[in-house]
Amino acid sequence: MRTLKLTIAYDGAAYVGWQRQSKGSSIQGCLEAALAEIEGEAVAVVGAGRTDAGVHALAQVASLQLRHEIVPDALVRAVNAKLSPDIRVVAAEVGPDLFHARFDATVKTYRYRLLHGAVSSPFDRRYGWHVGEPLDAERMADAGRVLVGEHDFAAFQATGSSTRSTVRTLFDLAVSRVPRDPWSVDGGPGASPTIIEVRGSGFLRHMVRIIVGTLVEVGRGRRDHVAVEHALRSRDRSLAGQTAPPHGLFLMRVDY
């Protein structure tokens, strides 16, 4: 058996998420079905991040084992030929025998797109959260710094989660405005998207989206960095902000 490492990009809008489920089409399920056709037997695919329904990835990483010899570049072509255009294997390489995409990951980077302007664009509806009015990015960045470091993020995980430990480490959180979105239908200067990028060792369920929802409230002037710090220390989900919708979130990079 050979262990392979795949880098995968996907538009998650039409899928129930990364993880295989009994109902609905998943990214993992589609990859396993394509690989099973090529290998002639079931293939288990492990992803670095179990992205939710509607979340996208530019560089998800997966590990798997194949019995038959196949050149990595040929595997990329063969798998892509069997996948929907929503999912693309970008690269494949032979990995160490014990490589595990999820447990060996040291840093994951996510990016969230916040869209502005008086009118939402029909072309951006699956790839960003249209929040309307421009946000105060400086206030958001200031509040975001409260979350950097090792903390108990219980207040920033989905209600009902059964994770054994809610302690996680954020290495960095950045808030920035980027040049005007070319897909915007609003020609005003306020149409420039706001980007929130977070880097961490790992994330709780919905953690990034709750952080985004909380920072949006900061950007609107409805709370400040003191309120964010209070929510963090409280471990109380009700004191953090709303969960941002999934379609603005992208898994950008996984480091090992």
What residues act catalytically?
Answer: 52
Residue 127 neighbours by CB under 8 Å, 6+ apart = 56, 113, 247, 248
Nearest to 14 by CA among 3, 25, 5, 23: 25
Instruction: Report the DSSP pairing between strands 167-177 and 194-200.
Output: antiparallel
Number of Cβ atoms within 10 Å of the Cβ of 220: 16
Contact predicate 127/56, CB 8 Å: yes
> Which residue is it, tokens 């958001």?
140
Length of the chain: 256
Instruction: Report the DSSP pairing between strands 107-116 and 249-255.
Output: antiparallel
**Residues 120, 124, 130, CA angle at the centre, nearest 5°?**
45
Nearest to 45 by CA among 82, 111, 109, 89: 89
The two three-digit tokens of residue 88, written as one number: 């693309």
> In angstroms, rounded to a whole number, what is the distance separating the alpha carbons of residues 185 and 131?
14
